Structure 1
Amino acid sequence: MKKRNTEIHLKKQVDEFGNPIFEVFNIDLNQPIDQYLLKPDVNFHNLADRQLMINLLQRKKKGLLEINFIRKALESTEFFSKGEHKNMLKGVPPKILAQCLKLKFVKKRYVIFNQGEIGDTYYIILDGEVYTLIRKPQIELQKQIEATKNQKKIIKQNNNYNSLDLKKEQLRQKLLSTKFFERVKVYFQQEGGKIKTQFSSLLRKTALGIKNL
């Protein structure tokens, strides 16, 4: 029996804002294909993978295969594939991951957030592009802030090293003091033994002298 190749088609629709929505269908069954979800080499930069991800994020209920596909797509992005964020998503339970991911469509010239605002959301552009507007004075200020942060980081590292050196020196002094007192103790024990021996000898000589009298 020959294995049949599954052909993938993207069906384009439009949402309430006029933004495109893509759905992936099996050409034979006209249903989302599970075979594609099982592919090991999911790549966020692949158009078909990214559009399928958009489709999956629109669903209120997501199965384990769908969540794992989204996870693999996110892990292929630069943010989640390098540095401290690498492998961050591997330990997140599928249900929690699905609750944290939200799909948002925005109109053209819509302001997502303003410079200086405190936020708790990380945005990934799935389709389209955004513009970043930063005031010129703010650029220089931002550079100064970054430079100050770097200086503080260096000072903190130096303080850590100095603190570590101080602890090492304190430990060394403690060891030296301990060795000194041990040596003094041994010395007095030795000297005490000598004194005790000499005193006993003196007593014996004195006793003999009295006896001879």
Structure 2
Amino acid sequence: MLHRLNLENILFLDIETVPEFRSYAELSEEKKLLWDEKSKYQRKEDYSPEEFYNRAGIWSEFGKIVCISVGYFSFRNSERSFRLTSFKGDEKKLLSDFTALLDDYFSQPEHLLCAHNGKEFDFPYIARRMLINNMKLPSKLNLFGKKPWEVPHLDTLELWKFGDYKHYTSLKLLTNVLGIPSPKDDIDGSMVREVYYEKGEADRIVTYCEKDVLAIAQVILRLRQEDLLEEKEIISI
């Protein structure tokens, strides 16, 4: 089935998230109580709510998106290319720009969104942050009433599971075992908050996010047993 998909109909994506505020102290008293309750199970007795707040970016109710990177294949005159671009900065603006891309170029029934662990993280996170920002959901993220086989999402983690729902494989590990250059050659997800808030290096986060998008596309090529992208085929726009 994967071999039958037209690669030009797939939008590959990755998001980077951080806590909504720089520090726990900036939360309202009500939000502090809600955070204390939300994080209680994960932090157990090892961390106080304040110490654990550095990890708040993984929850859409307490985090925000600082970058969405996307990539797509293009085939012209028998030449293959992979085009990368990113939306960054103000969250509502980047979500609006991302929605415009979907509406203008990836809104048809044959179009699919693809991410690694996207069904558990990227896709619902984007949808929740859109609603928190009082934005209308694009059709590709509005899953209400859809049957499982009608959901227009591909997930490289799910594809690698082959039905084994106990199994989790990180993108870093998957690229390693498939012989794909690692996207984690500078920072990893645990460092994004520090790079964003402490170092103010937003462009570094964008580069990291785009490398993940490229890696996801390379995984799909490997699963289809096709040649990996070469550097000359990758175009930043």
Q: TM-score, normalised by structure 1?
A: 0.21
Q: Which has the higher contact order (CA 8 A, sep 6+)?
A: 2
TM-score after normalising by structure 2:
0.19
In our comparison, the structure showing a higher alpha carbon Rg is 1
